[in-house]
A and B are shown apart, each in its own frame.
Chain A
């Protein structure tokens, strides 16, 4: 026999013609082998030889060739061995019983052997599947990037399913990334719309994977515990139908394994980014607080020492008093510059907002209080509607915004000028205006003045680094708002701030005005 071992494919498959030929050949060989022994051998022993052929054929070729061998065996036995020889006729009627038993035994043997063979095949198949899955799981567990997952999956699918695969994953925003040149070998360009449709189809957990088949390609969602991470495209080969139940189960397991690996890689990336971010933030915060401490401490000492010298006042010569005052004033001014620079650095390095719901009136009031001395020569009016909604903001930062705007107005308008603060709700935002009746802003500089180190037309005359308005813009922008400056028709500058109008939190019943 040229094929001593059974082929390792499904014994239930449709048998091929050569298998039947081998069955007939087996019967013929047995007949030839037994013929010379006919005078010496009992007929019952010859029957045994034919049954042996059936067993061998059933083991090697399966049920149907074995059935053919059984039938041909009975026929050959009748024709060549049962008297009268070379005729199908029988002299002794009891041989009919022999034929019947021989056929029945042959068929039963054919059936049992074939089933045994089928079971052995299934066991081997299962073992191969679990080995494959085990290897895939092991490879995937070591994968630390999406590319490595694809590298592990591609050969596995080729080996286990004889299929080509393409894995499409979602980006940070949850959008499926389909590269322009995405091609599933042999199937042309990828149907991106179909892939997206599969991705968004939401399934309750535990439900079987839906398969969408288009143009011979299976679209399988990579459903991980948290969410669907992408789509796996599978182009099955013709010889291995993926639709078979056993294959389906394995396919689903593989897809789940890949989905979990993708999710793990995603979270590893997220965790790594978070660590890097935290490290960066920690470093910046440490640096900033060290810097601010080292700048403030000497300033506090200079200012405090100058002022306490002043306490001794009368004992000092008059000229010294003026010098002490100069030291004090310069220390104060330097302190303000340092504060502005630190504010700017903090805002630029990504400040963490301590946002709470605030009434605007209180913040404006606090800023007015902080700059009362500076504004003593100006007339400031605050006209806020009493029903203005609360604003969700970091009060200390918004206070800086108003302090800087008021300082700016005090610096660039002559004494006696009026400063007006108004607010209103305008198309979904709170619009706050700080209006003065001073000389206004130089034409063409309306946007420029918010840049750092920009000091406007009066730059030569006034002091300061020009950080005030840059801080204003940074504060408004971290709150998701916008600020712009323009000249009023009647003259003077108008600073308009738009802050997003949120959904204010509910108030306890007892704080409402209406309670008795």
Chain B
């Protein structure tokens, strides 16, 4: 049985999130403040944390930063639209995904399941990775095929794809991507990532304007979903 920690100051939201998760046979622990949340996280050793970004004793990003000091559990943050900066700060601090309020239960459960799967898979095997549209990537052999045909990628495009694949299911901010693919000195040049992504989609996606696995999180970054 999985343990889930929810850090949220609104009791009504905690109540229905708890109900939905318990229906999925998960055990839920609640906290209303960052301080209490960190104590619960240390005591209960949860498998995943759901964290609201606006908490009475600070920003959800602070919680993530402190949690990341000693724990690698997946973190899903709850945010409001228009708070992109706050959202990005939480993701940069190490959060894995976000949900925009108001959110549906179905969407929330899907995200939770995806993050749990991801953390189980993180042990990792060397099998080629499958993506939508019959795209396969063999990281070890450094090859990408689409419907069985090899696709030529430039070294940068390959690095970008590899970076997203390594973090499949997570939202990667432009900052994180550019740091990893181009290097820390390019951290402010987020348009590099967007232009390179455009090229990558044209090579791998069926319809680049409606990507099936190289997804855009507008104003935040990208997320790659594995099939």
Which A residues lie at the B interface, using CB under 8 A?
289, 292-293, 296-301, 303-305, 307-308, 310-312, 331-332, 335, 339, 342-343, 346, 354, 356-359, 361-366, 368-369, 382, 384, 386, 390, 394-396, 399, 504-505, 507-508, 510-511, 513, 515-516
The closest CB in chain A to the CB of B102 belongs to A300
Q: Bin the interface of chain B by size.
A: 35 or more
Q: Are B219 and A394 in contact (CB under 8 A)?
A: yes
A384 to chain B, nearest CB (A): 7
Chain B residues within 8 Å of A384, by CB: 209
Chain A residues within 8 Å of B211, by CB: 365, 369
Given contacts A362-B197, A511-B192, A515-B156, contact A304 B84 (CB under 8 A): no
Chain A residues within 8 Å of B209, by CB: 361, 364-365, 368, 382, 384
The closest CB in chain B to the CB of A358 belongs to B194
Assembly CA distance A310 to B211 (angstroms): 31
Q: Are A511 and B17 in contact (CB under 8 A)?
A: no
Q: What 0/1 pattern do residues 172 to 209 of B give for CB contact below 8 A with A? A: 00000000001000100111101111110010000111
Q: What 0/1 pattern do residues 72 to 96 of B give for CB contact below 8 A with A? A: 0000000011111100000000000
Assembly CA distance A504 to B189 (angstroms): 12
**Is B121 an interface residue, CB under 8 A from the partner?**
no
Given contacts A365-B209, A505-B191, contact A300 B103 (CB under 8 A): yes
B116 to chain A, nearest CB (A): 18
Chain A residues within 8 Å of B15, by CB: 301, 305
Assembly CA distance A507 to B198 (angstroms): 13
Q: Are A507 and B192 in contact (CB under 8 A)?
A: yes
Given contacts A342-B82, A396-B84, A515-B156, contact A508 B16 (CB under 8 A): no
Could you tell me which residues of chain B, from 127 to 181, have a CB within 8 Å of some CB in chain A? 154-156
Chain B CB within 10 Å, residue with most, of A364, A365, A382 = A365
Q: Are A365 and B210 in contact (CB under 8 A)?
A: yes
A218 to chain B, nearest CB (A): 52
Given contacts A300-B13, A305-B15, A513-B154, contact A362 B198 (CB under 8 A): yes
Chain B residues within 8 Å of A508, by CB: 182, 186, 189, 192
Q: Are B10 and A301 in contact (CB under 8 A)?
A: yes
Which B residues lie at the A interface, using CB under 8 A?
10, 12-13, 15-17, 19-20, 23, 54, 80-85, 101-106, 108, 154-156, 182, 186, 189-192, 194-199, 202, 207-211, 215-216, 218-219
Q: Known contacts A507-B192, A510-B154; can you find 14 more A-B pairs with CB under 8 A?
A: A292-B80, A292-B82, A293-B54, A300-B101, A303-B102, A331-B102, A359-B194, A365-B210, A390-B191, A507-B191, A507-B195, A508-B182, A510-B182, A515-B155
Q: Are A390 and B208 in contact (CB under 8 A)?
A: no
- CB-contact partner of B219 in A310, A311, A395, under 8 A: A395
The closest CB in chain B to the CB of A339 belongs to B81
Q: Are B192 and A308 in contact (CB under 8 A)?
A: no
Q: Are B191 and A358 in contact (CB under 8 A)?
A: yes
Assembly CA distance A399 to B186 (angstroms): 25
Q: Are B105 and A311 in contact (CB under 8 A)?
A: yes
Q: Are A516 and B219 in contact (CB under 8 A)?
A: no
Chain A residues within 8 Å of B156, by CB: 510-511, 515
Chain A residues within 8 Å of B155, by CB: 510, 515
Chain A residues within 8 Å of B85, by CB: 354
- CB-contact partner of B102 in A296, A357, A505, under 8 A: A296
Given contacts A305-B15, A359-B198, contact A366 B218 (CB under 8 A): yes
- CB-contact partner of B12 in A298, A342, A505, under 8 A: A298
Q: Are A365 and B216 in contact (CB under 8 A)?
A: yes
Q: Are A357 and B191 in contact (CB under 8 A)?
A: yes
Chain B residues within 8 Å of A504, by CB: 191
A390 to chain B, nearest CB (A): 6
Chain A residues within 8 Å of B19, by CB: 308, 311
Given contacts A303-B102, A399-B218, contact A357 B154 (CB under 8 A): no
The closest CB in chain A to the CB of B191 belongs to A357
A367 to chain B, nearest CB (A): 8
Assembly CA distance A39 to B180 (angstroms): 120
Chain B CB within 10 Å, residue with most, of A312, A335, A356 = A356
Chain B residues within 8 Å of A395, by CB: 218-219
The closest CB in chain A to the CB of B186 belongs to A508
- CB-contact partner of A307 in B10, B104, B189, B191, under 8 A: B104
Chain B residues within 8 Å of A513, by CB: 154, 199
The closest CB in chain A to the CB of B203 belongs to A513
Chain A residues within 8 Å of B216, by CB: 362, 365-366, 369
Chain B residues within 8 Å of A390, by CB: 191, 194-195
Assembly CA distance A368 to B12 (angstroms): 32
A-B contact pairs, 12 of them (CB 8 A): A298-B12, A299-B101, A307-B20, A308-B19, A332-B102, A339-B81, A365-B208, A369-B216, A390-B191, A504-B191, A508-B182, A516-B154
Assembly CA distance A356 to B191 (angstroms): 7
Q: Are B218 and A363 in contact (CB under 8 A)?
A: yes
- CB-contact partner of A304 in B17, B182, B191, B199, under 8 A: B17
Chain B residues within 8 Å of A298, by CB: 12
Given contacts A304-B13, A510-B155, contact A362 B105 (CB under 8 A): no
Chain A residues within 8 Å of B197, by CB: 362
Assembly CA distance A515 to B154 (angstroms): 7
A329 to chain B, nearest CB (A): 11
Assembly CA distance A362 to B223 (angstroms): 13
Given contacts A300-B103, A307-B20, contact A511 B196 (CB under 8 A): yes
Chain A residues within 8 Å of B186, by CB: 508
The closest CB in chain A to the CB of B83 belongs to A289
Q: Are A396 and B80 in contact (CB under 8 A)?
A: no
Assembly CA distance A307 to B197 (angstroms): 36
Chain B residues within 8 Å of A396, by CB: 82, 84, 218-219
A402 to chain B, nearest CB (A): 10
Chain B residues within 8 Å of A310, by CB: 105
Q: Are A356 and B190 in contact (CB under 8 A)?
A: yes
Assembly CA distance A450 to B191 (angstroms): 32
Q: Are B106 and A307 in contact (CB under 8 A)?
A: yes
The closest CB in chain B to the CB of A332 belongs to B102
Q: Are A361 and B192 in contact (CB under 8 A)?
A: no
Q: Are B210 and A369 in contact (CB under 8 A)?
A: yes
Chain A CB within 10 Å, residue with most, of B12, B105, B209 = B209
Assembly CA distance A289 to B79 (angstroms): 12
Assembly CA distance A399 to B20 (angstroms): 31
Chain A residues within 8 Å of B80, by CB: 292-293, 296
Chain A CB within 10 Å, residue with most, of B104, B156, B191 = B191
